Structure 1
């Protein structure tokens, strides 16, 4: 059996579409669907049960965060494998069958992923990436990864230049479509719940690799991933993302590398803030919104570095 876990946070319509795509394209797979509702007022049960009457819907009285919600569902999972699927993912024909076949062919992976496309059919490269490094942070500060996204050197973090058209080992499989063997999930005790949202998939893959597993992805398992369906405010999203990156540095980067990377991480939003400030000073009024956003992000990360409470580190409950 396969256990599919979906976490809802005010994404009711997306969850319904996701579950419908699973039922349509994986009717021949022995599976169970477990949905954790992190949004008390969304009533996702009413949307899911007509489509999948045997789905397990766990209603949380508060927003647990992504990692803790997955752990809660993982405790109920009966499958030999657990497949994490974001609510804004639409499963395409053969995707679930192919990722299960891939896991059987590559058991050494322990964690497996697929290829993600945007709704318009173009490649969404965020199905996998490398763990954060000093070099990738430097490229991010200088915006080299954005300027040359197809460069394997300057977009090292995002596997620049790779079309995702072949099977490869990767450092990180995105939690948007991630298959893991249940025994490995149990051995790792699921996600580290210090990561409220973002970073938990990176940490999981790094811990699996430390045990000798080799996460990998296959293009045969392809899904549509819209991305960002539960995150509407850019400043809040960036603060949470950078908070998770700070936690990853503290956990996985030994000194003195951690000190260097933490400093570089703070320079990223600072560099964007200064760039937008210069642009607005030169009269580019269209940059004022960007200036406000990056000012907020930089100040939040700066306060975190000084040991102060990080505002908006968790979504409002």
Structure 2
């Protein structure tokens, strides 16, 4: 079994060296300069470096008795070079340190304490800016070093905030890896034959150690800088891919275990404490927390725009949303949108709600804005009261009173918002996006939030009216989303239509059922069946592209970046844009994108789409329907005899 106390004698800090004179020199200088109580010696192993200046520097340090130098007669690769250093000496504790790592005062003392925090711990790894599962501030990233604090100051902050704290890891990370002598004697050296030039050898070592009962931990109170890839350069990716395949073959459970660890993210509380400490040191502006789901779309765009508006007004914006988009649970992620500190603070609300509240209060929370509560733990709906701050609400859809969010019933069209008893029958038959709530409970929950809000805003009169009808005591304001200036789109040059020229229509966005996918497919099939001169060009993607392509009357561009939307629409070279949403949209950003691209709009007279076309006169409105033949006939009729701008065609 392992030693009960740190091994007698010095700890050997083993530094394999191949390339990178500047980084290696800085690494060794940091090791020599860092003051530590733990007796240690630095053992550099020169793997036949092709850089004469680097080899000369190592020999000079060895001549001055600053380091012990071992030199390979030929290049042996990282695992074999590391093994030579690990095997040197009296068999005590070792720390394997890459030659592109920087350490700071007390690093070895804290790392050794973590390694001896329990008798069965075999290895300890520090945090770093670039250390996969041990990376900070964001895991599995090569993070830039922070601007608000020096690297040494960040290490000191880790030491203060996470003093003595460790978290189990599925494997050590080899950039800086403390190995207890007993573990090394038990497991043996790295498998240099299997892992060649390097990458993955430390993971194989750790998995062999785990089979013998050894644990691997993250030392939560140590931070080291890691440049990454100094010795491998352009050869890194092929070596990594090859050795990952070796690992997967030897240890079939390894990659799934790492994936599960990444999803669970047990390291999050350690990162979180440092994030909060850094934010508090910044004397940040008053914090405004926005509660929302984690889905893409117009709500996400509005959150981003609002974040910039809040920052310009002197606030520090943050978003609190489910940690997992596709499998929400009790975990939430607080993204604090500070320009120097990209903090993502993870909380398990079932166990850490008091900690969340304490952290928000420590950061100076000034208010809460409810954007959406879909997929959020219900305890968060009490957040304003728990924090003692006021709240506001924003309307993006009708999840406030409709269990399916968009007011569509089994007819496939907007339901007309019947009384709650009918809504409950609809939810029972057609399903609900909030199955844990009855319609009555949903209404009661929303009434409490909306009627207690200091301000409720909706981006269209139609949306404001629907909310006000359900919650008359709520103070709902109409506040359209800000949008860039654009020239009014002209009427299509093809009009009046000659009855023969093909009419090309752009359908913009992510087209699911609520956005009219079924109507679009019906229109394309009808156009094919009757040989109508219509072509439907989707600028974006749909719930199922293949049936549309099969009609011979449709084209789908694929996903695009938000900033490219106008260019993508223009490249389709359409005459007008078609909006087929079968739910009463609250705003419709894609309508704005079509207008900015210079396209006239034809849309169903429903929700904000109908309201905005009528108000601007930049298009025409049609009665909502699901029958493609009827929709095509109306479309061709208005093209043949264009009505007044903004008109509702029969």
TM-score, L = length of structure 2 = 0.31
Q: Write the mapping of 1:45-56 to structure 2, written as runs, cut at 5 A.
A: 45-51=55-61, 53-54=64-65, 55-56=67-68
Q: Write the mapping of 1:1-317 to structure 2, written as runs, cut at 5 A.
A: 1-26=10-35, 28-43=37-52, 44-51=54-61, 53-54=64-65, 55-78=67-90, 80-117=92-129, 124-126=130-132, 128=134, 167-193=166-192, 194-196=194-196, 197-233=198-234, 236-253=235-252
In 2: Cα distance, 1:64 partner to 1:3 partner: 21
**Displacement of 1:33 after TM fit?**
1.2
Q: Secondary structure at the match of 2:215?
A: coil
**Displacement of 1:232 after TM fit?**
2.3
In 2: Cα distance, 1:127 partner to 1:84 partner: 18
Q: 1 or 2 for the larger relative contact order (CA 8 Å, sep ≥6)?
A: 1
Would you say how many aligned residue pairs link Structure 1 and Structure 2?
A: 218
Structure label with greater radius of gyration: 2
In 2: Cα distance, 1:101 partner to 1:167 partner: 10
**Displacement of 1:27 after TM fit?**
5.2
In 2: Cα distance, 1:17 partner to 1:85 partner: 13
Note the residue ranges of structure 2 that are not aligned, 5 or more in a row. 1-9, 142-157, 257-557, 560-650
Note the residue ranges of structure 1 that are not aligned, 5 or more in a row. 118-123, 130-144, 147-162, 258-277, 280-317
In 2: Cα distance, 1:30 partner to 1:243 partner: 38
In 1: Cα distance, 2:18 partner to 2:49 partner: 9
TM-score, L = length of structure 1 = 0.62
**Corresponding residue number in structure 2 for 1:295:** none
**Corresponding residue number in structure 2 for 1:300:** none
**Displacement of 1:176 after TM fit?**
0.4
Contact 1:2 1:30 in 2 (8 A): yes
Contact 2:49 2:55 in 1 (8 A): no
In 2: Cα distance, 1:3 partner to 1:45 partner: 21
In 2: Cα distance, 1:9 partner to 1:51 partner: 16
Contact 1:99 1:179 in 2 (8 A): yes
**Corresponding residue number in structure 1 for 2:399:** none
Contact 2:44 2:68 in 1 (8 A): yes
The list of structure 1 runs, each at least 4 consecutive aligned residues, that deviate by more than 4 angstroms after superposition, is: 49-52, 163-166
**Corresponding residue number in structure 2 for 1:156:** none
In 2: Cα distance, 1:187 partner to 1:79 partner: 11
In 1: Cα distance, 2:32 partner to 2:232 partner: 26
**Cα deviations by residue, 1:199-218 (Å, 9 ceiling, x for unpaired):** 10110110111001110011
**Displacement of 1:61 after TM fit?**
2.2
Contact 1:114 1:127 in 2 (8 A): no
Contact 2:131 2:226 in 1 (8 A): no
